[in-house]
A and B are shown apart, each in its own frame.
Chain A
Amino acid sequence: MSGDDWLRKDRLPHIWCAGCGNGTVVNCTLAAVDEIGWQRANTVFVSGIGCSSRAPGYVLTDSLHTTHGRAIAFATGVKLADPSLNVVVITGDGDLAAIGGNHFIHACRRNIDLTVICMNNQIYGMTGGQGSPTTPMGKLSTTTPFGSVEPAFDLTELAKAAGANYVARWTGFHVKELTKAIFSGLSTKGLAFIEVLVQCPTNYGRRNKYRSVTDQIDYMKTHSVLKQKADRLREEGNELPEDTIILGEIVKRSLPAMGVRK
């Protein structure tokens, strides 16, 4: 891997379960950071609480492991204190969408120069599989034993509506595309939000008829549609199935950004 020297090798093997997609996202992030050529001295990784937020602990640079949901709040402080730093926020769906939802939309509104990578495993993995705001309708978890009755959060639409400069969504299967998306997110001025759907075989897959890790990856592969194709199908008047995952670059624009040195 091209970002191999960014890993804290003495901390490996990491604590994530067998087949957890978080490790894949770390690979892609480090490859993109290595490609863009940032130095260790002015790169900061910030995370909150959760499975995904263990990630900066495996990255050999300055990292902050902060309170639940407040990763973006801490990252805002870091960025505004020293705008020359490159700040990457790695966070999960429970961290970003549930408890840190308000911090997230206001960071999008202010358009701070951060890169937010959300590892969305659609469940609270670390605490034992409770339903999160992104659990799809009808899916089982320990707190929704008869299937979730609430509609799930669409994080990319939220970020787009709140005013983020770059929004993309990929899955844990599309590694090359994800690396490219993270690279363009890192090079965008203003808030870049990349949502990554990752598999959680232990707490999500086990309860939702994905017997093996590869089953859930297969599901993501077969049920995903590129945004351009989805738009075209909608224009032609075709209805997309409800469980379709729309992938790709959702929005890219250049609204005025905060925390960028003039």
Chain B
Amino acid sequence: MRLVIDEVRCKGCNLCTLVCPYRIFKPGTIANRKGILVPVTDRPERCTNCRLQKIYGRTLCGMCQMICPDQAINWVNEEVYEPHRVVVED
């Protein structure tokens, strides 16, 4: 699983930086197209949910997702990398 912040929904309130026990979220510095400083994630693979959500079959910590007033934080499935054979057309 991978932790993602939805840039369309995020309004840059930085509440996630306050609650994460691993301090994964850092206040953003570069404004996006709407002028919002979206927080950046610092090594998000440390997040317990990213590592263990599939094994336990439930959301483990999820504080950032619960406190996010804009419903912007989510975990998405990450596909295992598979090398593709390049097909050369005749």
Contact = CB atoms under 8 A, between A and B. Distances in A.
Interface string A12-42: 1110111111111011100100000000000
Interface residues of B, number: 21
Contacts of A212: 14
B13 A24 contact: no
B71 A12 contact: yes
Contacts of B65: 1, 27
A16 B71 CA distance: 12
Tell me if B's interface is mostly helix, strand, loop or mixed: loop
Interface string A97-133: 0000000000000000000000000000000000000
Contacts of A7: 71
B17 interface: yes
Interface in B35-90: 36, 59, 62-63, 65-72
Contacts of B72: 13
Contact of A213 (B9, B13, B63): B13
Given A24-B68, A175-B66, A214 B15 contact: yes
Q: What interface size band does chain A fall in? A: 20 to 34
Interface of A: 1-2, 4, 7, 12-14, 16-24, 26-28, 31, 172-173, 175-176, 179, 201, 212-214, 217-218
